[in-house]
Chains A and B, each alone.
Chain A
Amino acid sequence: MSGTFTKSMARNIFFGGTVFFALLFIALTFDSMQTLPKRDNRANLTPAVAAGKKVWEVNNCIGCHTLLGEGAYFAPELGNVYKRRGPEFIKAWIQSQPTGTPGRRQMPNFHLTEQQLNDLVEFLKYTSEINTANWPPNIEG
């Protein structure tokens, strides 16, 4: 860098640039918040969905699975599992864990009640109806 470009110039560009792009980000966030109601399926955000989200969280499901592509990559994507498997399969699957098949990846049994299972399925149904710009590319997730 040439001698005419001083440290204080660099510092001013840093503060100016950071403030400008932070404000732009906040503006985009504000606009996103206005657009979200059309995409995030909040109309179907029932108490059961909220309860299901809590079941999802307190059993650390994200520690193995992805949800809308975020999480761990050890077990299948569940953002669209409601569409892939349907409610009854999901409940039966969770209840039948672990499979105990030697050498296969094992999912713990979380001893969920019928109510918790239903709530979780409601949460997964709600999630599957979020407008994700056609992601994932196919039903396998």
Chain B
Amino acid sequence: MQYSSQSVAKPYFIAAIGLFLGQILFGLIMGLQYVIGDFLFPAIPFNVARMVHTNLLIVWLLFGFMGAAYYMIPEEAETELYSPKLALLMFWVFLVAGAATILGYLLVPYATLAKFTGNDILETMGREFLEQPLLTKIGIVVVALVFLFNLTMTMLKGRKTSIGIVLMMGLWGLAVMFLFSFYNPHNLVLDKYFWWWVVHLWVEGVWELILGALLAFVLVKVTGVDREVIEKWLYVIITLTLVTGIIGTGHHYFWIGTPEYWQWWGSVFSALEPIPFFAMTVFAFNMVNRRRREHPNKAATLWALGTGVMSFLGAGVWGFLHTLAPVNYYTHGTQITAAHGHMAFYGAYAMVVITIISYAMPILRGRAANSEKAQVMEMWSFWLMTVAMVFITLFLTAAGILQVWLQRYSATPIPFMAAQDQLAIFYWLREGTGVMFLVGLLVYIASFFVGGETKSRAA
């Protein structure tokens, strides 16, 4: 690595992978509860498992983003990090707060947790993805501000590249939009309206800036293509992202009590949201095809290409599938939504974090790339996890189509649970491919412990 302070990224990446494993284990518990309803009841009720599953996802991605930023910004700014000590301190604060929150979910009834963590002072809990206790939410803001301070100071004293600027805009946007999680009016429609300002404007807004910056950084490094070209692409992609994605928020405003013109605004703009993802895929393949060097880290290149393809499929295609209002009228809040959520999060965010880890981790461990053997193993894990996720998505989509038909579309709609009983076969298949995903993740983790002759420089 070029700057010694980049090494603070390492614990962030390790924590990200550890929490990722936790997320998948809880996913498997939930998947089993879909078919064996009383599995682990009452020790871990479904709502608790889901909270752990989704919150671990958010937290490990945040660890990944932060690690990525600590690795990238010194190199982009061509200067040491403003304060590596502060970065390490924040790592421990975030890890302890995160672990305490997860333990709180698992060990204490949620209502009790709410009572003892200040929810009566400011009611923010009990909303999807924002279940964190008030104390944790405040902790997230503090960690984010210190993190942003540290990186902004680093950038101010160094080179300001477009990749660095886009990354910082994404991270500042992430922190600013999170502030809406503190606004929870009694009016349910208002609550939902601004809840989406966190959730949608994160994943279909500012997070995509982070995604683009991470991908661009890795592509600059592994392909050797002129930075000017890659940064121009980056700006084009994030323009398309925000031009479609901001008004695209409207695809959540169809059926929650908001004015009906959102059916037009939301449908038209969100139908365009696949375009930036398609551009990202074309971008990744184009840059790799025009490469000026053969970087020894083949695994990182594979993850970068995979991010392009899978984010286009998961966020783009599977998003488009149910985003038009007349379709969404039937599919809203079914397994179709779950199918889209799984592939989009994996394809866009899980994969881009693994991309940067795959590129940076060998360097943090003192080599340009891992041994051939370790890379082959890592590439196996890529295919196992990615193919598993494709099938998880296909099975959930099949379940969703059947659910829509039985419960919403046929001439004689049947109750929710009666419909669920008929979907059992797809839930079993999904659980099976979930196990395959876990195997892939274990292979991925194991690949870090494979020795062999490492690569010292570009061939």
Q: What is A's interface to B at a CB cutoff of 8 Å?
A: 1, 5-7, 10-11, 13-14, 17-18, 21-22, 24-25, 28-29, 31-32, 35-36, 39-42, 45, 49-50, 53-54, 56-64, 66-77, 98, 100-108, 110, 126-127, 130-133, 135-141
The 10 closest A-B CB pairs, nearest first, are A63-B47, A57-B126, A69-B333, A105-B37, A135-B255, A10-B235, A40-B189, A76-B416, A50-B186, A69-B332
Q: Is A98 a contact partner of B42 (Cβ separation < 8 A)?
A: yes
Q: Is B231 a contact partner of A58 (Cβ separation < 8 A)?
A: no
Q: Is A70 a contact partner of B232 (Cβ separation < 8 A)?
A: no
Flag whether B417 is at the interface (Cβ < 8 A).
Answer: yes
CA A7 to CA B51, docked complex, whole Å = 42
B408 — which chain A residues lie within 8 A by C-beta? 136-138, 140
Q: Is A40 a contact partner of B190 (Cβ separation < 8 A)?
A: yes
Contact of B46 among A35, A63, A102, A127 (CB under 8 A): A63
Q: Is A73 a contact partner of B337 (Cβ separation < 8 A)?
A: yes
Q: Is B236 a contact partner of A39 (Cβ separation < 8 A)?
A: no
Q: Which of B135-143, B256-264, B347-355 contacts A (4 or more CB under 8 A)?
A: B256-264
B101 — which chain A residues lie within 8 A by C-beta? none
Q: Is B260 a contact partner of A133 (Cβ separation < 8 A)?
A: yes
12 contacts between A and B (CB under 8 A): A7-B162, A7-B231, A25-B247, A49-B186, A54-B123, A58-B125, A60-B51, A63-B45, A69-B256, A130-B257, A132-B256, A140-B413
Flag whether B152 is at the interface (Cβ < 8 A).
Answer: no
- For chain B, the count of residues having a C-beta within 8 Å of the partner chain is 77
Flag whether B192 is at the interface (Cβ < 8 A).
Answer: yes
Q: Which of B1-9, B238-246, B305-313, B363-371 contacts A (4 or more CB under 8 A)?
A: B238-246
Q: What is B's interface to A at a CB cutoff of 8 Å?
A: 30, 33-34, 36-38, 41-42, 45-48, 50-51, 110-111, 114-115, 119, 123, 125-128, 131, 162, 184, 186-190, 192-193, 228, 231-233, 235-236, 238-239, 242-243, 246-247, 249-250, 252-260, 262-263, 265, 329-330, 332-335, 337-338, 407-409, 413-417, 420
CA A58 to CA B189, docked complex, whole Å = 18
A69-B232 contact given A58-B119, A59-B110, CB 8 Å threshold: no
Q: Is A14 a contact partner of B239 (Cβ separation < 8 A)?
A: yes
A58-B259 contact given A14-B235, A70-B192, CB 8 Å threshold: no
Contact of B333 among A17, A31, A64, A73 (CB under 8 A): A73
Q: Which residue of B lies closest to A135 (CB)?
A: B255
Main secondary structure of the interface of A (DSSP, over half): loop
B236 — which chain A residues lie within 8 A by C-beta? 1, 10, 13-14
A130 — which chain B residues lie within 8 A by C-beta? 188-189, 256-257
Q: Is B337 a contact partner of A32 (Cβ separation < 8 A)?
A: no
Q: Is B37 a contact partner of A106 (Cβ separation < 8 A)?
A: yes
Q: How far does the Cβ of A90 sit from chain B's closest Cβ, in whole Å?
A: 15
B48 — which chain A residues lie within 8 A by C-beta? 60, 63
Q: Is A39 a contact partner of B128 (Cβ separation < 8 A)?
A: no
CA A95 to CA B144, docked complex, whole Å = 42
Q: A49-B186, A75-B416 are in contact. List 20 more A-B contacts (CB 8 A).
A: A10-B239, A21-B243, A21-B247, A28-B247, A28-B265, A36-B190, A36-B257, A40-B257, A41-B257, A54-B123, A58-B111, A58-B126, A61-B126, A62-B47, A63-B128, A74-B33, A74-B46, A130-B189, A140-B415, A140-B416
Q: How far does the Cβ of A47 sit from chain B's closest Cβ, in whole Å?
A: 9
CA A120 to CA B276, docked complex, whole Å = 43
Most B CB within 10 A of own CB, among A1, A53, A101: A53
CA A35 to CA B162, docked complex, whole Å = 41
A24 — which chain B residues lie within 8 A by C-beta? 246-247
A57-B189 contact given A18-B239, A68-B257, A140-B408, CB 8 Å threshold: no
Q: Is B330 a contact partner of A68 (Cβ separation < 8 A)?
A: no
Q: Is B114 a contact partner of A58 (Cβ separation < 8 A)?
A: yes
Contact of B249 among A25, A69, A102 (CB under 8 A): A25
A68 — which chain B residues lie within 8 A by C-beta? 188, 192, 255-257
Q: Is B50 a contact partner of A63 (Cβ separation < 8 A)?
A: yes
CA A111 to CA B422, docked complex, whole Å = 32
Q: Is A13 a contact partner of B192 (Cβ separation < 8 A)?
A: no
Contact of B407 among A41, A75, A140 (CB under 8 A): A140
Contact of A73 among B115, B250, B338 (CB under 8 A): B338
Q: Is A69 a contact partner of B38 (Cβ separation < 8 A)?
A: no
Q: Is A21 a contact partner of B242 (Cβ separation < 8 A)?
A: yes
Q: Which residue of A lies closest to B194 (CB)?
A: A29
Most B CB within 10 A of own CB, among A61, A73, A100, A141: A73
Q: How far does the Cβ of B135 sit from chain A's closest Cβ, in whole Å?
A: 15
Contact of A32 among B115, B128, B259, B415 (CB under 8 A): B259
